[in-house]
Amino acid sequence: MRPESKVDILAAHADLPALPLTLEGSSVLHQMMRFRWTAWKKLSPAQKKKIVAEAVKTLAPMEQQGESALYSILGHKADLIFVHFRPSFEELKSAELRLGSLELWDLLEPAGSYLSVIELGLYDSTVKLYRALTERGLELNSEEWKRETEEAMQHQRQAMQPRLFPKIPASRYLSFYPMDRRRGEEKNWYTLPIQERQRQMAEHGEVGRRYAGQVKQIISGSIGFDDWEWGVDLFADDPLVFKKLIYEMRFDEVSAVYAAFGAFYVGVRCPVARLGDLLSGKLPKKE
């Protein structure tokens, strides 16, 4: 039997619903900050020690639980980036408020932020489920359709718990960037049939799988939450992997034709216990 071609995919089940099913997990907040070095240098050693000690006391438990991490940003876009994973927006806000109450916060100025929710797009599962329900003659969005869809989703949620609610990886380097799918007059991702989007995403995923073990990728959805549609976090111990992975992905169709990218932030992990070293001009070594 010959493999299913692009023409086959576009022709088969052309009336399937357009919206892919998704699973949502941890709420995610990135806080990009500039550090007021001039004000810091004017403080006495005792004042600096007090500020660092208070910050470490607050941040260390968050870091140990894999819920928050601190990175020193390379380049001019920011000095620091705080990354937070939490079960809900309320808990994200609590973390934000706790940091805002620190004396350290008086030395920080916001350079940007990004709010999103960890998301797993289920293109393959969605198309298979929609086909099965359609072939059985179920009416779209009928009670039976909704019930069977929710049962399938619940099974997926249980199976995907570790991916939906991960700890922040302990990798040395972070690359974060936002992205969109094009929706212009000539190329519009959202007008493609779901089967064609499934095909392109499967091709895109094959590239990422070739880098398994070298980089950890966490995708978060931000439609309705921030200025772009998705946020992408890449974690690795070798920053060159970011370049190789993203460059190779640029050649697949979904990126070459339908992707738009925002600013990239690349940072080096700073263990909270070594914050004092960082603010003294010493990049903490990998532990």
Annotated catalytic residues are 177
CB 247 within 8 A of CB 261: no
User: Quick one: tokens of 174?
Assistant: 């972070």
Nearest to 24 by CA among 212, 171, 221: 221
- CA dist., res. 118 & res. 110, Å (int): 23
Q: In whole angstroms, give the CA distance from residue 86 to residue 92.
A: 6
CB-CB neighbours of 17 under 10 Å: 16
CA distance 40 to 260: 38
Count of Cβ atoms closer than 10 Å to residue 224 Cβ: 8
